């Protein structure tokens, strides 16, 4: 498979709600393979299918660049079971090149999803991994990290966001 262009802020597809996957078939495996290639090329920590223009409830998280114990994880039809704690940290998104903002999110998340073999798993993530999972999950709901900003922070970002959406 191959890398795909990443959808940039301003493209209305980023506000769409993604649809559940019926079956983890070859088409879904090809989609994940494209996500993996695209994320590697972009050197990001996570990527959702909608960011390559596919409205399916699939995302990947790969923290191996910042945590040697981490490995790439695939989430198909994920559900957030539980969250806990609150923490503020700088966050970015491959659909917002060059923009990083401090965002408050839960520090811990428990997720249920299917893996690439179609097996159901439930796992807890903490810290940066929890942040990445919650960020990517939001993409499936058409939600973006700038939605968490205060009105003031959004106002200050307005010009740069306008530039991004003009270019996309």
Q: Which residues contact 131 (CB under 8 A, 6 or more apart)?
A: 87, 89, 91, 105
The reply on whether position 93 binds Ni ion by CB under 5 A is yes
Q: Is 21 helix (H, G, I), strand (E, B) or coil?
A: coil
Q: How far is the CB of 163 from Ni ion (least distance, A)?
A: 18
The position carrying tokens 């968490």 is 148
Nearer to Ni ion, 61 or 93 (CB): 93
**Which residue in 20, 15, 47 sits closest to 34, CA to CA?**
47
Q: How far is the CB of 159 from Ni ion (least distance, A)?
A: 21
Distances from the Cα of 88 to the Cα of 22, 84, 85, angstroms: 36, 13, 10
Active site residue 16: no
Nearer to Ni ion, 28 or 59 (CB): 59
Q: Which of 79, 117, 126, 136 is the catalytic position?
A: 136
Binding window for Ni ion (CB under 5 A); candidates: 5-13, 54-62, 86-94, 121-129: 86-94
Active-site annotation, residues: 136
For Ni ion, the binding residues (CB under 5 A) are 93
């Amino acid at each position: 498979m191959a890398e795909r262009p990443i959808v940039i802020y301003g493209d209305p597809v980023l506000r769409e709600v993604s649809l559940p996957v019926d079956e983890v078939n070859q088409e879904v495996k090809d989609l994940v393979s494209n996500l993996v290639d695209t994320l590697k090329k972009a050197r990001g920590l996570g990527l959702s299918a909608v960011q390559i223009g596919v409205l399916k409830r699939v995302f990947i998280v790969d923290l191996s660049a910042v945590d040697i114990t981490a490995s790439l994880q695939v989430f198909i039809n994920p559900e957030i079971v539980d969250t806990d704690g609150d923490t503020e940290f700088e966050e970015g998104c491959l659909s917002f090149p060059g923009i990083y903002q401090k965002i408050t999110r839960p520090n811990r998340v428990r997720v249920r999803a299917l893996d690439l073999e179609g097996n159901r798993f439930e796992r807890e993530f903490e810290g940066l991994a929890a942040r990445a999972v919650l960020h990517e999950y939001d993409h499936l709901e058409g939600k973006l990290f700038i939605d968490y900003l205060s009105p003031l922070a959004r106002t200050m970002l307005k010009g740069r966001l306008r530039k991004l959406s003009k270019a996309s």
